[in-house]
Structure 1
């Protein structure tokens, strides 16, 4: 089992996040993940540092914690060859400490700079093609690639991971909540990323079942794919504070249909603020009883997940990490 920390780029400045990821390492967490947002979920109090630039700084300020994106979209704002170069550069200096988490994207991050945001079918096709190109660029000296969406002509990533050195390899995790992306992750990726709070039936029948189907079709062992889940947990020794902390993240309780076409943080904030706190909190494990909170987190282990990344919603993340490490982490399965 591995336990990680969600470095909430949408809520904290780059400097604050650097302090927090160092604290996450000190309290014993194994990993930390940052989302690559051009714009945050909220206009007021929101932040959106560049994830790749921040990863370089965070790697320099830590020594052992594994760092990654959850997620970056290597298909619209970025050409996949540029992503391949960025992560190869970071991996040269910090081998074995990077994960490239990728996904199909959000309108919020693309349309602000005039990028057309296609339907999911095309976004998923772009994602598959980009992953294939990134891996080819990491593996081969000169790459001529002619895809439906991307092309390279004699391209070389000169400082790429050494294919013969397993320790220098950069794993690729694929984020997705539907059957197709989940099966794809099981067949071709090193890990799968999803989020908590959607009910046991969804995780058993959509996530785990499709992971198993994809693994079987690919002839891969279960251990070859890390089953990562971001768990929304608002733990505080003050029960009222634990509930109130969730309010900043009201946008996560909007439906996919509500969020899909929204590309303005001000509008996203307006929609989220209309939700009652009880609805916002439904997506979260909320409580002040360490044993109960630990049990709710551990339930995801029972469902089959192997890498639990804990996302605390409050503004005082130092308080969250310290209370979590003192009260909850010792109660979790290892």
Structure 2
């Protein structure tokens, strides 16, 4: 049975708004939360980017829902030892209801310390080694490690959960899906790609959860909703590897000038037709996702939660 969670977009909302959304999500019947981990927003119009680990601490005192990072990059901006400590503490605060979603990251967030931004093959190798280091630390043993990318000396996690948090790996192509199958406890993707999900499961990922996510804009005025998405999240429609290689919000703003309102209207569920929202979410269910996270773009949070509580989630749950 697929679970439906709410996606907290740190790029768009203040800490107080995110906590309010989490409370509303639990009241509306969402059973899980996901939260983004960014240093920068994708563009200046989004305008926020609080530290995810502070937000998770606050969420642990606000709601009783499980929380997953979608996704953390544990390789460049944060060393895997520090990421492991943050994840272990988060899991303790959430009484074990925490999952660490990881990925190879974006230059937008990871170049800020002046480090070189590596090609994908190097980033994948770094992620594999980082996950290995974090799993060792989650045991509570004293860890020393010397690998091609990371050195760890006499590190031990003293605050940690009884059961290590699951590590779900994000991937948007066959090689990334293979990496997720090899090193992950689950697989994360942001499109209802049944072929990739089937490849993941047939290559050894059977029995591991698949997590998907999408953004919508509930608004009684569909044209206004399209305008809102086009203004705040045009980056969702940028093709290829641009999301991984562009280094600043200003670069994303320049690239997003190529995204049209028509593309937004055709790709993102906008407006107040429940069937359009149900159809978009159901595509992830039919592709094979075990958890689907939905995020509302723009200020219409109250209407989104009211209508998902009364119309969308009941229809999805009864399908």
TM-score under structure 1 length normalisation: 0.89
My pick for the range that moved more, 100-109 or 284-293, is 284-293
Q: Is the 8 A contact 2:7 2:34 kept in 1?
A: yes
Mapped to 1, the partners of 2:176 and 2:246 lie a distance apart of 22
Distance in 1 between residues matched to 2:94 and 2:280, nearest whole Å: 34
Which residue of the partner structure matches residue 230 of structure 1? Answer: 213
Please tell me the root mean square deviation across aligned C-alpha atoms, in Å.
Answer: 1.8
Q: Tell me the equivalent position of 1:213.
A: 202
The answer to whether the Cα contact below 8 Å between 1:235 and 1:324 also exists between their aligned partners in 2 is no
Question: Does the CA-based 8 Å contact 2:218-2:300 persist in structure 1?
Answer: no
2:216/2:268 contact within 8 Å kept: yes
Contact 1:13-1:47 at 8 Å conserved across structures: yes
Q: Give yes or no for contact 2:77–2:111 (8 Å, CA) kept in 1.
A: no
Q: Name the structure 1 match of 2:126.
A: 126
How much does 1:140 deviate? 4.2
Deviations along 1:78-136, one digit per CA (max 9) or x if unpaired, are 11011111111222232221111110010111223312110000000000110111011
Q: Which residue in 2 is equivalent to 1:138?
A: 138
- The reply to whether residue 22 of structure 1 matches residue 6 of structure 2 is no
TM-score normalised by the chain length of structure 2: 0.93
Distance 1:244 1:78, change over 3 A: same
The 3-state SS of whatever aligns with 1:169 is: coil
Which residue in 2 is equivalent to 1:264? 248
Superposed CA offset, 1:260-318 (max 9, x none): 43211122123224421112334323343213431332122111111110122222223
The answer (yes or no) to whether the contact 2:60–2:93 under 8 Å persists in 1 is no
In the alignment, what sits opposite 1:32? 33
CA separation in 1, counterparts of 2:276 and 2:51? 36
Q: Once the two structures are superposed, what CA deviation does each residue of 1:189-246 show, in whole Å capped at 9, x if it has no partner?
A: 22211112xxx6xx132x123212322xxxx6x33x1111002333334333332332
Q: Judge conservation of contact 1:298–1:333 (CA < 8 Å) in 2.
A: no
CA contact (8 A) 2:140 2:158 kept: no
Match of 1:325 among 303, 309, 317: 309
Task: Give 2:264's aligned residue.
Answer: 280
- Corresponding pairs, count: 316
1:172 correspondence with 2:162: no
User: Which residue does 1:11 correspond to in 2?
Assistant: 12
Match of 2:68 in 1: 68
* Alpha carbons 2:5, 2:33 under 8 Å: kept: yes
Sort the Cα spacing of 1:140 and 1:96 in 2 relative to 1 into closer, same or farther, 3 A.
closer
Check conservation: 2:189, 2:211, Cα contact below 8 A: yes
Distance between the aligned counterparts of 2:81 and 2:100, measured in 1? 13
| Aligned partner (choices 204, 222, 225) of residue 194 of structure 2 | 204
Does residue 1:159 correspond to 2:159, yes or no? yes
Which position in structure 1 is the counterpart of 2:177? Answer: 182
Once structures 1 and 2 are overlaid, which stretch shifts more, 21-30 or 120-129? Answer: 21-30
Q: Residue 270 of structure 2 aligns to a residue in which SS?
A: strand
CA contact (8 A) 1:39 1:48 kept: yes
SS of the equivalent of 2:213 reads: strand
Q: How far apart, in 2, do the equivalents of 1:85 and 1:59 lie?
A: 16
Where do 4+ consecutive residues of structure 1 move more than 4 Å?
none
Structure 1 residue 315 corresponds to structure 2 residue 303:
no
More deviation, 108-117/78-87: 108-117
Q: Could you say if the C-alpha distance between residues 83 and 259 of structure 1 is closer, same or farther in structure 2, counting changes exceeding 3 Å?
A: closer
- Equivalent residue, structure 2, for 1:165: none
Deviations 1:131-183 (A, max 9, x none): 11101111141112121111212211111222xxxxx4311111111112212
Matched, 1:95 2:95: yes
Structure 2 CA distance, aligned partners of 1:281 and 1:130?
Answer: 39
Q: Gapped runs of 5+ residues in structure 1? A: 163-167
